[in-house]
A and B are shown apart, each in its own frame.
Chain A
Amino acid sequence: MSLFNDYVKAVYTKLNNTSGLTGLLSESLADDQVFPKIWIEDGGADDWSNKDDNGLEANINLHIGSRYRGTKELRGLMDKCYAALHFVDLTLANGQSVLCQFLRHDIVTDSDGTTRHGVMRFSLLISEVV
């Protein structure tokens, strides 16, 4: 079982194959200044096993950065992420995604005063049963 790797990979693949988001994603937050960008943060996971099968209740946080003057670009990217993930069946190499649900979002302005920073939180239920 490699559920811990699979769900992050599944989210990455799903977003990277979405039109308008391709090439914007990274799993590490490098100190580059290329915007817009989307950083996938693993928000941790709780056990979601039953007596027969293993499972995870995981959280994924998407950090979306934009230097467009207003929030239009940022909200457009958030719309695309929402459409790509909310109540969508993700394809996992092992196991299945039982639920992928949007929880909440926040928009803040970063310390440079120009970077708009959107945080989207998703909850995932992952089971090893295919």
Chain B
Amino acid sequence: MTTLYQQFNAALQRRLEANLVIAGELVATEVRRNIQKSPRGGKTYVKTNPNRVHKASAPGESPATDLGFLVRSIQVQPDFDNLRIRVVSLHSIAPYAKRLEFGDLSKGLQPRPFMFKSLAAKKQKAEDLMKKALNAAIRDMQGADIQ
């Protein structure tokens, strides 16, 4: 026999986990969109293998995509035990992501922020999602039999 508390806990856990993933994907999508739609106000480079012309981003803009490694490195990693979701750039795919986000003082490289910028843009929406999930879990329990 489950108590009302256990039923509520299960309903809450279910709702929060589902919405955590949505919130994470919301931010990750914004990160990817920022990279792919970057204004590209920087220098133009002629590159080889494959032969191409790449127009880079200017300082302060999100990094401009070239071969797509940075976009592909953006992943969502759920940590349901701690009710947390991480949006990460995998080091094995794009080891230069940290330098782009924070800049590099040793080389005089200015930051091309793409992670925190996206989080700031979608933070409110993600918080609203979680609030709605909590309210939905409470609604689920309305009318439940008290054991």
Contact = CB atoms under 8 A, between A and B. Distances in A.
A110 B111 contact: no
Interface stretch (B62-70, B72-80, B95-103): B95-103
B47 to A, nearest CB: 20
Nearest to A111: B104
Interface string B86-109: 000000000000110011111111
A105 to B, nearest CB: 11
Range of interface residues on B (Cβ < 8 Å): 10 to 19
Which one of B98, B105, B108 has the highest number of Cβ atoms from chain A below 10 Å of its Cβ? B105
A39 interface: yes
B110 interface: yes
Contact of B105 (A61, A63, A106, A121): A63
A111 B107 contact: yes
Interface in A86-126: 106, 108, 110-112, 114-115, 117, 119, 121
